[in-house]
């Protein structure tokens, strides 16, 4: 059977709808009612109050016991941050859809494990030999036992024992953020190649053995003091990467080779007249063009959905993520596609709206506003891009000539402060030239600049003499600066 992306989404929703799950809409990717969360980073965000048992929360989803949806997610800052991988690998995006099913105090481990296995192997007909599952191995510090129940349940549905692996707190205890709902989880991984024992490649960042679905057994609320409070009821929360599932069902080795991304590549090709996309990575992508295609296709999705849901580019928190992503993308467009910056993303936008507008009508409704905001922001960046690149060249030349081969923290800061080059953009440029930088030094430069903007000259001089640890002490009592997203998860 052929699996075009829209059919994959529909099949997932229908499978759970047939099992008494209510199909709910994706929440806004901008969590307007949760000031601790930068962007929706998982399907469960909108259900957080139900898990916590917060009074009044149940009204919104009154009497709902089971739900299913596809949630718009952004992971480009905060606790779950994949921005630096995007463009480089074949399966992390800054914006993606997370398919999920939920039980609110209704069914628990047994049923969710049965559902996931049946859906993947009977409906989507994935080969069980290619699937590996994991369970939580327990944690002494948290006082939690290994989740042998999950292991047995996987065996009961027919998973071979050597395809069931224990995992530690990093991979098998899911947390939304620094605080909030959490619990042990059990994940499903897929081996794209087969004909081998891939168990040792699970959770090793191997693009051919990738995580597809996480089943979280919600039981705790992480407190500020790091302790775990038991929730009033136990819930099921699952999340499956839509683009990853599509890539597997379409038998591709990369999310970017699927019909989720090909219409965007076609549009980028049309607008830039660059050579077509060939899905090469790392050193194989000799001219860097495939990487640039990926970055731009990914970023136009983030920009469109974030702006449609009300996050406009500015200098703090959510808005700064949007700005950073737009600047990062614009620079790729200019460097690799020789594109004019000022209305680049708005020319790619129609392809995205056409492709995803049916599932997410908000981007149709907001299309002209999004285009306007993108153009305005791009034009503003275009005005300083030339000078900023010249300044970067000067710093780079100095670094090479002096033999340090490294940008100083002050230089990185100046590029941000004077030319609006976000730190991650400067780092990309430095990486392209094999020039180093030191994160601690950049941090000192940033703190120094902040101090300078609010204190006397003497204060600045004294401050400049502090080392990073002294500065960290000083900083403890302070509100985080606006350009980072430290206050968000
Ligand atoms: P990974 O280990 O691959 O980074 P994760 O463990 O961070 O994934 P979860 O928090 O468990 O991911 O989220 C549930 C599912 O969402 C994952 O199993 C994966 O399929 C998908 N997913 C997570 N991050 C991304 C991303 N950046 N782009 C696309 N899909 C993602
Ligand atoms: Mg991750
Ligand atoms: Mg993982
Ligand atoms: Mg995971």
Residue nearest to atom 2 of ligand 1 (CA): 211
Under 8 Å between Cβ of 367 and 327: no
Q: Cα separations (Å) of 324 from 62, 89, 321, 405?
A: 39, 20, 5, 25
Task: Return the DSSP state at 119.
Answer: I
Residue nearest to atom 27 of ligand 1 (CA): 92
* 67 CB-contact burial (10 Å; exposed 0-12 / middle 13-18 / buried 19+): buried
Q: Is 49 in the pocket of ligand 1 (CB under 6 A)?
A: no
Q: CA torsion 374→376→377→380, rounded to 10°?
A: 150
**Residue 171 pLDDT:** 96
* Ion ligand 4: residue ranges with CB closer than 5 A: 214
Q: Is 89 in the pocket of ligand 1 (CB under 6 A)?
A: no
ipTM above 0.90, yes or no: yes
**Residue 138 pLDDT:** 97
Q: Is 243 in the pocket of ligand 1 (CB under 6 A)?
A: yes
pTM of the shown model: 0.90
Three-state SS at 199: helix
**Residue 486 pLDDT:** 44
**Residue 80 pLDDT:** 85
**Residue 463 pLDDT:** 56
Q: Is 93 in the pocket of ligand 1 (CB under 6 A)?
A: yes
Q: How many Cβ atoms from other residues are within 10 Å of residue 56's Cβ? A: 7
Q: CA torsion 400→405→409→410, rounded to 10°?
A: -10
CA distance 71 to 121: 23
Three-state SS at 180: strand
**Residue 56 pLDDT:** 55
Residue nearest to atom 26 of ligand 1 (CA): 92
Which ligand ends up closest to the CA of 241? 1
**Residue 457 pLDDT:** 57
Helix, strand, coil tally for the chain in percent (to 5): 50, 15, 35
**Residue 54 pLDDT:** 78
**Residue 484 pLDDT:** 41
* 127 CB-contact burial (10 Å; exposed 0-12 / middle 13-18 / buried 19+): exposed
CA-based nearest residue to 306, from 34, 484, 74: 74
**Residue 466 pLDDT:** 63
Q: What is the pLDDT along the chain (489 residues), one digit of tens a residue?
A: 899 999 999 999 999 999 999 999 999 999 988 887 899 999 999 999 889 887 555 566 667 899 999 999 999 988 789 999 999 999 999 999 999 999 999 999 999 999 999 999 999 999 999 999 999 999 999 899 999 999 999 999 999 999 999 999 999 999 988 889 999 999 999 999 999 999 999 999 999 999 999 999 999 999 999 999 999 899 999 999 999 999 999 999 999 999 999 999 999 999 999 999 999 999 999 999 999 999 999 999 999 999 999 999 998 889 999 999 999 999 999 999 999 999 999 999 999 999 999 999 999 999 999 999 999 999 999 999 989 999 999 999 999 999 999 999 999 999 998 999 999 999 999 999 999 999 999 999 988 887 777 655 555 556 566 666 665 555 543 333 333 444 454
Dihedral sign computed on CA atoms, order 304, 306, 310, 313: negative
* 432 CB-contact burial (10 Å; exposed 0-12 / middle 13-18 / buried 19+): exposed
CA-based end-to-end distance of the chain:
40
């Amino acid at each position: 059977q052929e699996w075009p992306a829209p059919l994959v989404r529909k099949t997932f929703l229908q499978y759970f709808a047939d099992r008494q799950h209510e199909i709910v809409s994706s929440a806004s990717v901008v969590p307007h009612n949760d000031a601790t969360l930068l962007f929706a980073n998982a399907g469960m965000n909108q259900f957080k109050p139900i898990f916590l048992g917060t009074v009044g929360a149940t009204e919104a989803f009154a009497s709902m016991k089971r739900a299913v949806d596809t949630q718009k997610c952004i992971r480009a800052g905060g606790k779950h941050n994949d921005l630096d991988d995007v463009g480089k690998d074949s399966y992390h995006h800054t914006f993606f859809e997370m398919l999920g099913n939920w039980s609110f105090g209704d069914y628990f481990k047994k049923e969710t494990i049965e559902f996931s296995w049946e859906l993947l192997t009977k409906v989507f007909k994935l080969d069980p030999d290619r699937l590996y599952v994991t369970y939580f191995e327990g944690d002494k510090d948290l006082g939690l036992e290994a989740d042998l129940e999950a292991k047995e349940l996987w065996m009961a549905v027919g998973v071979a024992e050597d395809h069931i692996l224990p995992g530690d707190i990093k991979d098998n205890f899911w947390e939304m953020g620094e605080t909030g709902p959490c619990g042990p989880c059990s994940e499903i991984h897929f081996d794209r190649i087969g004909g081998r024992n891939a168990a040792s490649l699970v959770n090793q960042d191997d693009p051919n053995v990738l995580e597809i679905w996480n089943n979280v057994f919600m039981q705790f609320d992480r407190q500020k003091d790091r302790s775990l409070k038991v929730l009033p009821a136990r819930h099921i929360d699952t999340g499956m990467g839509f683009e990853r599932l599509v890539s597997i069902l379409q038998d591709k080795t990369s999310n970017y080779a699927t019909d989720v991304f090909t219409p965007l590549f076609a549009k980028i090709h049309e607008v830039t007249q660059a050579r077509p996309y060939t899905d090469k990575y790392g050193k194989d992508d000799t001219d860097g063009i495939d990487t640039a295609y990926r970055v731009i296709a990914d970023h136009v999705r983030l920009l469109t959905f974030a702006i449609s849901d009300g996050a406009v580019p500015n200098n703090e928190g959510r808005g700064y993520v949007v700005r950073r992503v737009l600047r990062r993308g614009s620079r790729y467009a200019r460097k690799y596609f020789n594109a004019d910056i000022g209305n680049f993303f708005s020319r790619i936008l129609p392809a995205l709206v056409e492709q995803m507008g049916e599932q997410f009508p908000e981007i149709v409704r907001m299309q002209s506003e999004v285009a306007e905001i993108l153009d305005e922001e791009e034009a503003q960046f275009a005005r300083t891009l030339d000078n900023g690149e010249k300044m970067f060249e000067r710093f780079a030349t100095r670094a090479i000539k002096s033999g340090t081969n490294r940008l100083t923290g002050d230089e990185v800061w100046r590029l941000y402060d004077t030319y609006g080059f976000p730190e991650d953009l400067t780092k990309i440029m430095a990486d392209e030239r094999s020039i180093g930088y030191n994160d601690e030094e950049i941090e000192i430069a940033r703190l120094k600049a902040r101090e300078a903007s609010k204190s006397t000259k003497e204060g600045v001089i004294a401050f400049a003499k502090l080392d990073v640890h002294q500065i960290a002490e000083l900083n403890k009592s302070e509100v985080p600066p606006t350009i980072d997203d430290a206050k968000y998860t």
